[in-house]
Chain A
Amino acid sequence: MGVLDGLFGWAFLVPLFPVLAFVIVGLLGPRLKSLEWGGWVAVAFAFLAMVTGIVIGVGEMLSPGRYTDTSFTWFTLGASGGSGTFPNGFSLVMGTLVDPISALMLLVVNVVGFLVMLYSIEYMHHDRGLPRYYAELSLFLAAMNGLVLSDNLFEFFLFWELVGVCSYFLIGFYYEKPSAASAAKEAVLVTRIGDVLVLLGIVLYFATSATSGGGAGWAASGFKFAAGNGPFLGAAVGSAQSTTLTIAGLMMLGGAAGKSAQFPLHVWLPDAMEGPTTVSALIHAATMVAAGVYLLAVVSLFLGFTPEDRLAIVAIGGFTTFFAATMATVHRDIKRVVAYSTISQLGYMVLAVGAGFTMVGLFHLFTHAFFKALLFLAAGAVIHAVGTQDLFRMGGLRKAMPITSTAFLIGALSLSGIPPFAGFFSKDDVLGSVYSQTAAHPLYWPFLILAYAAVFLTAYYIFRAWFLAFSGPAPRDPTLPDAHEGSWVMTLPLVVLSALAVGAGFLVFVPGFAHLFLAPTAAVGLAANLPPVYGTTEILLSVLSVGLGVAGLGTAAYLWGNGRTVTLADDSAVQPVRKLLLNRYYFKVGYDWIGQRGVYTVARVGDFLDRFVIDGAVRGMERLFARLSDGMRRLQTGVVSDYAAYVVSGVVAFLLLLLFVAPWIVTAWGG
């Protein structure tokens, strides 16, 4: 604290730059003579955002702490000096909060964001929708920066929805393609389930906190992410509110599962690959899908999970890690392989957060963002060069595309957890951390084993992809166009990300940077477990996971290396498994079935109600009045005598009333 304090007040600039880019490119982009200019504008603003983000990140490293700038009161309910749960009124503010984890996320989001934007200049140059692309991407960048800088849960939720909508736009970027349009709808519908759960969870936290002593303060502060909330939940554990808190925590897990594509809400992420590859790299690998993990991290840090919640999170994370990795082993589409890999890796992060090692999970998020973006961008370069996503048509691209090939290899090594690449450090920390909890929580064991199994599968599927695409003498499909390396615009991001994929793991040894991971406990007073200090057991575990990785690599090399192709016999025993995996465990079919049987039935009932009950009532009224007015119309003959007859009838009615009804009323009620 001190000289740097003024710096953090400028954190709002980070989301502001992309917003400006969104407005400028969105409004002016389509009118520019050359569509690429709009792209360069967006790249320039992304660069500014990156510089600001790095400055703030470095500032946080030098001076760890929590810096809030709540400049804008959204709304206030009630007045101060009142009584009840909120004696000083309840207000929601919009502000920025810079703390170690948001600084970490700022670095990830803006560095990857800038590189992807730069890369897109060439990757997307053929597309007429370039201004739309850049406007939406800038909006996403702004929303994501807003999300990580949120200083309360409500603001967080606002940006959470905004990144969701950007994801929808960008998945459906090629909206002329029916598959892209339906993938966008699928993504938004599936994540919506999670979003609703998050909102319900917030309401539950509110309800719980509003009725408990310490929590009212939290709610009254506007759901602030602030240290010291942990105790109120800690005190509530074991009390009557424990169940409510568990349910609220499970809802947060549901939201994270939707956003981070965890089982059973994972189905949307592979289909989201219908969007441009750059979008997959930024949104569906590095940043937005990490928002779910980030949500779990902030809830874990600032509110805390009950032990039941933790077990559920560990279960979901551990299972998804393995589950997604199995599906990645059989797919032919290079992007889908990487997408399943993303789901699997997000599972590791969820696993770590669930076991209580929030910062370890975020560390894996940090390294994963770089090597997964690298893998996607390298895959994009391949797709750009050869015009297909089918691995079985590629091959031998190593010679034509040496930079891309090396970049993908680095990404694959990092993903497989081979030392000294970044993935090794983070994945090893995750596994070692979870192992350290198994003594206290034996129920974590099966999920730790699944996670270890996934290490082998990870190395296998990613090297299968690498060997299929890059090794061998020539493409399997001779009709493929001659591949060539892209210009510097495409290669520079690959090089930078390669460097990060190699080196990001070493950053924990840099004293300043390590603050981001150590500071939450040391300087800020947040409750996060630190990874275990490495002893003999941990080193053995590392050896085990590296061994599994190498084994996976070796298996892939044996089966697919140097242009080989494995063809399973039709009657092979493995064939049903392969079919199951290719059909993605029939999850989509199952959801479709639910959609058709469940939702369609409801819709049919609704349709029936609408058509016959509601419309029936409306039409019935209409018919009634039509009949009535038809009858009335017949009375309107225009013949004076008829009208006279009506008048006389009225007189008769009046006389009857006067002579018989009125006396009866008088006698009945004793007038």
Chain B
Amino acid sequence: MILEQVAFASLAAVAVVTALLALLVRELVHTILWIAVFFVDLAAIYFLLSAPFLGVLQLGVYAGAVTILLLFGVMVTRKRIFSREAVTGIGPSSLALAALVVILLVAAATVVPNTEVPVRAYDVTLLSTTLFNQDGSWLLLLGLTMLGALAGAIYLVREGRE
């Protein structure tokens, strides 16, 4: 199915490029824009992988909430929204380290087939039963974690701390 190959290749290229751009552009606001594109692009990949629920979740949580949060963070820490980030070098050793990880991971991934494999969709109701079985312990744990994080965040930003 050449069409799907092309679609995946283009989406993957966009993901890599936008991720790199997000890290390499000088202005933080542009970074936020590129990361939003990256998140949307990933959502499209999820749709391609027959996981539409996750695609929607990605759009809602990442492309929506997280992007807005990051933008908000940039706005409150900057006197001027458009200000240039101090130039930081690429750092050859860091680059090499990251590249090494990628190479090793790909080398480790060669165990999977290099031929086309059908991607199968699943029933979303099955996902919900999986998430809510055992009295919803998965979601309960996630909720408790969020609650703890919320308390920690409030503690960090509360007034009167100097």
User: Do A's and B's CB atoms come within 8 Å in the complex?
Assistant: yes
Q: Across the interface, which residues of A come within 8 angstroms of B104, CB to CB?
A: 652, 655-656, 659
- Looking at chain B's contact residues, the main secondary structure is helix
Cβ-based interface call for A645 (8 A): yes
Q: Across the interface, which residues of B come within 8 angstroms of A645, CB to CB?
A: 94, 97
Cβ-based interface call for B69 (8 A): no
Cβ-based interface call for A621 (8 A): no
Minimum CB–CB distance from B76 to chain A (whole Å) comes to 21
A655 touching B94, Cβ below 8 Å: no
* Interface positions of A from 629 to 655, Cβ below 8 Å from B: 645, 648-649, 651-652, 655
Cβ-based interface call for B153 (8 A): no
Cβ-based interface call for A658 (8 A): yes
> What string of 1s and 0s marks CB contacts (under 8 Å) between B115-132 and chain A?
000000000000000000
> What string of 1s and 0s marks CB contacts (under 8 Å) between A130-162 and chain B?
000000000000000000000000000000000
B97 touching A652, Cβ below 8 Å: yes
Q: Across the interface, which residues of B come within 8 angstroms of A656, CB to CB?
A: 104
Taking residues whose C-beta sits less than 8 angstroms from the other chain, chain B's interface range is under 10
Cβ-based interface call for B108 (8 A): yes
A659 touching B101, Cβ below 8 Å: no
Q: How distant is the Cα of A663 from the Cα of B125 in the complex, in angstroms?
A: 42
Smallest CB-CB separation from A654: which chain B residue?
Answer: B104
Minimum CB–CB distance from B96 to chain A (whole Å) comes to 10
A649 touching B108, Cβ below 8 Å: no
Smallest CB-CB separation from A644: which chain B residue?
Answer: B94
Q: Across the interface, which residues of A come within 8 angstroms of B97, CB to CB?
A: 645, 648-649, 652
Smallest CB-CB separation from B107: which chain A residue?
Answer: A659
> What string of 1s and 0s marks CB contacts (under 8 Å) between A649-671 and chain B?
10110011011000000000000
* Interface positions of A from 199 to 243, Cβ below 8 Å from B: none
Smallest CB-CB separation from A656: which chain B residue?
Answer: B104
Interface centre among B94, B104, B105, B108 (most CB of A within 10 A): B104
Q: Across the interface, which residues of A come within 8 angstroms of B147, CB to CB?
A: none
Q: How distant is the Cα of A658 from the Cα of B109 in the complex, in angstroms?
A: 12
Cβ-based interface call for B7 (8 A): no
Q: How distant is the Cα of A222 from the Cα of B47 in the complex, in angstroms?
A: 98
> What string of 1s and 0s marks CB contacts (under 8 Å) between A14-49 and chain B?
000000000000000000000000000000000000
Q: Across the interface, which residues of B come within 8 angstroms of A648, CB to CB?
A: 97-98, 101
* Interface positions of A from 431 to 478, Cβ below 8 Å from B: none
Cβ-based interface call for B25 (8 A): no
| Also in contact, A652 and B101, with CB within 8 A (given A658-B108, A659-B107) | yes
Cβ-based interface call for B17 (8 A): no
Minimum CB–CB distance from B102 to chain A (whole Å) comes to 11
Q: How distant is the Cα of A437 from the Cα of B107 in the complex, in angstroms?
A: 104
Q: How distant is the Cα of A651 from the Cα of B98 in the complex, in angstroms?
A: 11
Minimum CB–CB distance from B95 to chain A (whole Å) comes to 12
Q: Across the interface, which residues of A come within 8 angstroms of B107, CB to CB?
A: 659
Cβ-based interface call for B9 (8 A): no
Q: How distant is the Cα of A658 from the Cα of B94 in the complex, in angstroms?
A: 22
Cβ-based interface call for B57 (8 A): no
Minimum CB–CB distance from B23 to chain A (whole Å) comes to 13
Q: How distant is the Cα of A628 from the Cα of B118 in the complex, in angstroms?
A: 55
Minimum CB–CB distance from B89 to chain A (whole Å) comes to 12
B108 touching A655, Cβ below 8 Å: yes
Minimum CB–CB distance from B139 to chain A (whole Å) comes to 29
Minimum CB–CB distance from A645 to chain B (whole Å) comes to 7
Q: Across the interface, which residues of A come within 8 angstroms of B70, CB to CB?
A: none
Minimum CB–CB distance from A36 to chain B (whole Å) comes to 79
Cβ-based interface call for B75 (8 A): no
Q: Across the interface, which residues of A come within 8 angstroms of B105, CB to CB?
A: 655
Minimum CB–CB distance from B3 to chain A (whole Å) comes to 35
Q: Across the interface, which residues of A come within 8 angstroms of B140, CB to CB?
A: none
Smallest CB-CB separation from B110: which chain A residue?
Answer: A659
Minimum CB–CB distance from B132 to chain A (whole Å) comes to 34
Q: How distant is the Cα of A652 from the Cα of B99 in the complex, in angstroms?
A: 10
Minimum CB–CB distance from A145 to chain B (whole Å) comes to 83
Minimum CB–CB distance from B108 to chain A (whole Å) comes to 6
Q: How distant is the Cα of A659 from the Cα of B98 in the complex, in angstroms?
A: 17
B100 touching A659, Cβ below 8 Å: no
Q: How distant is the Cα of A652 from the Cα of B107 in the complex, in angstroms?
A: 12
Ordered by A's residue number, 19 sampled pairs between the chains whose C-beta atoms are within 8 Å are A645-B94, A648-B97, A648-B98, A648-B101, A649-B97, A651-B101, A652-B97, A652-B100, A652-B101, A652-B104, A655-B101, A655-B104, A655-B105, A655-B108, A656-B104, A658-B108, A659-B104, A659-B107, A659-B108
Q: Which 7 A-B pairs have the closest CB atoms?
A: A655-B104, A648-B97, A652-B100, A659-B108, A652-B101, A659-B107, A651-B101
Besides A648-B98, A652-B100, A655-B104, 17 new A-B residue pairs in contact (Cβ under 8 A), listed by A number? A645-B94, A645-B97, A648-B97, A648-B101, A649-B97, A651-B101, A652-B97, A652-B101, A652-B104, A655-B101, A655-B105, A655-B108, A656-B104, A658-B108, A659-B104, A659-B107, A659-B108
